[in-house]
Structure 1
Amino acid sequence: MIFQTIRKQQPLIHCITNYVVANFQANGLLAIGASPVMAEEVEEVEEMVKIASALLLNTGTINERTKESMLHAGKKANMLGIPIILDPVGVGATTFRKKTIHLLLTHVKFAVIRCNIGELAAIANVSWQQKGVDSGNGSICIEVEAKKIAQRFDCIVIVTGEKDFITDGEQMHWVVGGHHQMTEVTGTGCLLSAICAAAYVVQNEPFKQLVNTLVAYKQLAEHAAYSTQNIGDFQIAVLNELHRLSKDGEK
């Protein structure tokens, strides 16, 4: 199982992320045996990324300072061949976010873009009514637009939701399952992006590894929902399931 592989490899994941989810992401990575570091000061990010296995850029609480840090870290990671995962949180919500994501995509080469359907629409310039950082409403062909984005930026695109879709511009795969409670607590998508960063680097078939990650994440959502009745306990159950699956696998 991919979570067990991550535990064996123990990759260091450098996260420049949003303050709403940083703790949950760090604990989630620790639960599967990875090592998180949340460094965002512009004067240290290039030095920190040198020792990282992968870099995650999450724009959930983006500002001018963290935008600059992301650019510096991203360029350094590209120079060193360290894979970068982009989580373009709420890219369609404001002009500032759109400009920031455009800037990052112009100057940084990403290995993976992990987004929801509204964020995909914004990157693809498809008309869409985004609801803050939530996916919102509109009409889009996920397969067509995700494939175009994957080809344009030469990366893997993951679109998560009730069903997940993944493509590298040629290969395509849908993943079903999961549980609606994943949308009722904050940070589950952001944590998935961090786990995808860890999964990407632990073996030599990143597309397959990420498909396995999406499948496993849907499974743990189901297990977490079955093991608890109260939404306040659900995040804890997610962490418990990550830890269990990384140690014992699917049983």
Structure 2
Amino acid sequence: MNVQLFVPCFVDQLFPETAFNMVKVLEKLGCKVSYNPDQTCCGQPAFNAGYQDECRAVASKFLKDFQSYDYIVAPSGSCTGFVRNYYGKLFDNSAMHNEVKQLKKNMFEFTEFLVQVLNAPDTGATLEGTATYHDACGALRECGIKEGPRKLLSKVKGLKLNEMDDCETCCGFGGTFAVKYEPISVGMGEQKVLNAIETGADYLVSTDLSCLMHLDGYIRKHQKEIKIMHIADVLASGW
């Protein structure tokens, strides 16, 4: 099975090891993985800030970079959800309508691809400790991803999964929201971290590193005893 990687901005610039771990898992499960080095952003930051024309320019490049019938897999529910749910509006009534339609069919978030396409809930990972899972808004609300990540985590040997209170509540990042409304964003992040700590978890896991980066800022500043991990890093552990 041929798979193209889309590596979001946060992962590319700040957490590249997660992209490598995603490749590691996909190749172990029999996928032929390729990466187009010309790829850039999906355009979501510009769109959320109100710059639709600039976003359309970036999205046009995305469509060009991923002109293929291969599956496109990304370690981000946020980016995946944006492409699926908003590209149709950006290119409505345009010559790129068919390309967008095909792209939306091919685009998958990483855990969604493992569970729904590969039907491979067990990657053979081993990680000793306790984890709690944060439902990132992009994954949960834009892509409908809920049970898949939990199914994958339940198969990790040595790992216990404890649910936190308000696991579906936003962490407070929200891209530019964290900049424009810093006190609210920090308060939401604090509550999320405290809820995670109350479970006794060693690891705070999610599908989206944007959320995890935000939460890790609070964790580091207040020296809390919990570690963030993208689910791809968990699923590549121990082998």
TM-score (norm 1): 0.33
**Which structure has the larger Rg over C-alpha atoms?**
2
